[in-house]
Amino acid sequence: MIACNTATALALDEIKAAASVAVIGVVEPGAEAAAAATRTRKVVVIGTEATISSHAYQRALEAKRVAVREKACPLFVPLVEEGWVEHPVTEQVGRIYLSEAFSDDSRDADVLVLGCTHYPLIKPLLRRLAPEHVTIVDSAESTAEEVARQLEGQVRIASLPSSAHGELRTVAALKFFATDSAEKFRKMGTRFLGLPVEDVVHVDLKE
């Protein structure tokens, strides 16, 4: 799974070609969930400048006969990474962004797509700021559900002999690799995942 809308929008095909396993991006599951949720067939998508400029969501949603208003919200990511998820500055910025996004012919849009995996951390704030009739679709959540569907049935404990159930032990070891600051990843990873992030290795990627 590519847990980033920008990477999905800009490099999904290249990553699929280079990978030896199935690759799921976040755009298509998010667009699918938005198309299923909208009744007016009008959707607002917010994301980073790169994601919005790629028009990946626009193409995906228009293919499903849904009209799209795209709105870049470049200040959200640094605010989230600063930990200002309920800060007055973040609320004011969000108020400005959403008032622009739901203006003019998008006033009757009834779905807001969070087109960045940072945005779920400010979902409660966005829920307060978005029009009451709007359903919020979290592309990260939609993608996790799609991954779960594809993995379902590949490992079935129930298929083991009953005598083996008592002996089965699941040991999960998590190791993280970061191309930016490992310390920053530990801090942010704990916030995103809701569990301790300890084993982080910094890696340099060649151009």
E strand or H helix at 200: strand 200-202
- Determine the distance from the C-alpha atom of residue 142 to the mean position of all C-alpha atoms in its chain, rounded to a whole number: 8
Beta strand pairing call for 67-72 and 42-47: parallel
- For residue 184, count other CB atoms closer than 10 A to its CB: 12
Q: Tell me if 14 sits within 8 A of 148, measured CB to CB.
A: no
Catalytic site residues?
4, 116
The residue behind tokens 């002999």 is: 161
